[in-house]
Amino acid sequence: MVAVRSGSGETRRLPGVEGVWVFVAADMVFFALLFVSFMLGRQEATAVFEASRQTLDVNFGGINTLILLTSSWCVVLAVEAVKRNALDQVPRLIAGAFLLGVAFMVSKALEYGGKIKAGISMLSNDFYMYYFTLTGIHLLHVFAGNILLIVLWNKARARQFSADRCVVLECGATYWHMVDLLWIVLFPLLYLLR
Amino acid sequence: MSTSTPKTDYSTWKLLAWTGPVFFIGFFVMWGLLADNFPPMAASTTAQDMWQHYKDLQTEIMVGMSVCMVLGSCYMTFGAAVSRVMRRIEGPEGMLANVEMMGATITYCPIVVACGIWLTCALQIDRLSPDMVQTMYYLAWMIIDLAYMVTSWQIIAAAVVFLRDKREKKLVPAWVSWWGFVTVASFFPVSLIPFFKTGPFAFHGMFNFWIAFPTWYVWIVSMSIFIIKAVSRIEIEDGAAQPKEVPVRGGAPLATR
């Protein structure tokens, strides 16, 4: 944990441990490089990218954004509940975040299923290559996050968190917010960018 | 009958730890520079151009790959040194030290097989058709890249154990362990290489070659450095060596680890 003194004199603390921030920073750099690669590919074949983008269902993208934002919100509430020592609420909030994570995976499976039924795969063209790979790698992150949420849920039920013992929960929350943030960039990049 | 515990052989342990740098320096020079794999020939190269590449660089590839087949074994010996340091943290009954050593050992297998295939391509270039050269070239890349999960288990095991180190100053810093998790995360998209010959997910592309490989390389280099230091620190902890003294101007010498 790193504590820093802000200008107003109050001590601010980096949530979780430094290592999880190393992971988050590196992971986001990887995604940033892929986003740049997508934009370069788009410049080379704007018409193909635009025509393919129009085949995506914006409703799926929008619903998925709402799902992940709500899930992230549940995790924020869980961390706050731990800090208020309202420990009864924590397992419920983490379970809510987990169920929403599962809902995201189901929604993604339906969306992929529709594309595959329509004869579209990641080999169809460069846009779909980025669409399937970027959202697929992101989905792997969601899957890993859901496993993490199960671990956190178990710890919360066993009352292993408290106001002065919540580093593990903060690490998990940091990761889950990163997953959310990546989707917030992915959604406009793939579904909305004209 | 005497039941005295055998003494720890720190010299051999240090020697094995130093095989880490031998691996990463040797591989960079012989595979990367001499055999012209930095960057590698693109997956989209035509069969005829691949054949010509092997013809033009026949000697360099043969020397580079045969040395790499020998040097690759240093990854196994380096893994043995890491495993012994891990055992000091998780105790004699710990399983993750075994997983790390097995992971390092089995990682050598795809390395030696892939280098053997590239070597044979160069050796037999006058008897092979361009299509055969292309097939063998792809084959080696698929083998060396898609075996990443074995290396992932090695890295995860090491990261988990070194994060559990209760020492005030850990034997391997936490950032190296977290970088291990970054490395494992960067490996998964490598599964896409069979599907693309161009773009970021081809085996010569941005993700596989310029992200996953360098990320692993940084892990090997940093882990090697800290394992070499860790063995010396353990030797001091065991009382088998004295801390080095650093002279301080106008004061008493400071002991360092």
Note whether B199 contacts A41, CB cutoff 8 Å: yes
Closest-CA residue in chain A for B195? A123
- Tell me the longest C-alpha to C-alpha distance in chain A: 60
Counting beta carbons within 10 angstroms of the beta carbon of residue A12, is it exposed (0 to 12), middle (13 to 18) or buried (19 or more)?
exposed
Give the pLDDT confidence score for residue B246 in this predicted structure: 54
Distances (CA, A) of A90 to A69, A150, B72: 18, 12, 49
| % pLDDT > 70, chain B | 92
* Mutation for testing the B interface, residue in A49, A124, A131, A133 having most B CBs under 10 Å: A133
Say yes or no to pLDDT of B89 above 50.
Answer: yes
CA distance A126 to B118: 30
The type of residue at A170 is E
Which residue did the predictor score with more confidence, A73 or B3?
Answer: A73
Report how many domains make up chain B.
Answer: 1
Q: Contact at 8 Å (CB) between A94 and A149? A: yes
Tell me the nearest-neighbour CA distance from B182 into chain A, angstroms: 6
Give the pLDDT confidence score for residue B257 in this predicted structure: 43
pLDDT tens digits along B188-212: 999 999 999 999 999 999 999 999 9
Sorted by sequence, the CB contacts under 8 Å of residue B144 that are 6+ apart come out as B110, B111, B113, B114
Question: Any idea what the CATH number is for the domain that residue A124 is in?
Answer: 1.20.120.80
Sorted by sequence, the CB contacts under 8 Å of residue B167 that are 6+ apart come out as none
CA B70 from chain center: how many Å?
A: 14
Note whether B195 contacts A34, CB cutoff 8 Å: no
Closest-CA residue in chain A for B163? A19
* Token pair recorded at residue B112: 């030696």
Look at residue B251 and tell me if it is in a domain: no
b/e sequence A115-141, b meaning 16+ C-beta within 10 Å: beeeebebebbbbbbbbbbbbbbbbeb
Dihedral angle over CA of B130, B132, B134, B137, nearest 10? -130
Q: Contact at 8 Å (CB) between A58 and A191? A: yes
Closest Cβ–Cβ partner in B174, B195, B215 for A17 = B174
Look at residue B254 and tell me if it is in a domain: no
Give the pLDDT confidence score for residue B254 in this predicted structure: 47
Closest Cβ–Cβ partner in A30, A41, A126 for B186 = A30
Note whether A27 contacts B201, CB cutoff 8 Å: no
The residues with which A88 forms a beta bridge, in sequence order, are: none
Residue B92 phi/psi, 5-degree rounding, is -65, -20
pLDDT tens digits for chain A (194 residues)? 555 555 555 666 788 888 899 999 999 999 999 999 999 999 999 999 999 999 999 999 999 999 999 999 999 999 999 999 999 999 999 999 999 999 999 999 999 999 999 999 999 999 999 999 999 999 999 999 999 999 999 999 999 999 888 999 999 999 999 999 999 999 999 999 88
Look at residue B173 and tell me if it is in a domain: yes
Look at residue A88 and tell me if it is in a domain: yes
Strand pairing category for B254-256 and B244-246:
antiparallel
The type of residue at A153 is W
Give the pLDDT confidence score for residue A101 in this predicted structure: 97
Q: Residues in chain A whose beta carbon is closer than 8 A to a beta carbon of chain B? A: 17-20, 22-23, 26-27, 30, 33-34, 37, 41, 122-123, 126, 129, 133, 137, 140
Give the pLDDT confidence score for residue A164 in this predicted structure: 87
Look at residue B67 and tell me if it is in a domain: yes
> Residue B245: pLDDT band by 50, 70, 90 thresholds?
low
Report how many domains make up chain A.
Answer: 1
Give the pLDDT confidence score for residue B179 in this predicted structure: 95
Residue spans of alpha helices (H) in B125-245: 130-146, 148-163, 174-187, 206-207, 213-237
| ipTM associated with this complex | 0.83
Domain with B152, as residue range(s), is: 10-240
Name the helix (H) or strand (E) containing B256.
strand B254-256
Sorted by sequence, the CB contacts under 8 Å of residue B81 that are 6+ apart come out as B13, B16, B17, B19, B20, B227, B231
Look at residue A152 and tell me if it is in a domain: yes
CA distance B112 to B65: 9
> Residue B113: pLDDT band by 50, 70, 90 thresholds?
very high
Look at residue B249 and tell me if it is in a domain: no
Look at residue B248 and tell me if it is in a domain: no
- Of the listed ranges A188-192, B87-91, B116-120, B236-240, the one predicted with least confidence: B236-240
Look at residue A8 and tell me if it is in a domain: no
Look at residue B245 and tell me if it is in a domain: no
Say yes or no to pLDDT of B3 above 90.
Answer: no
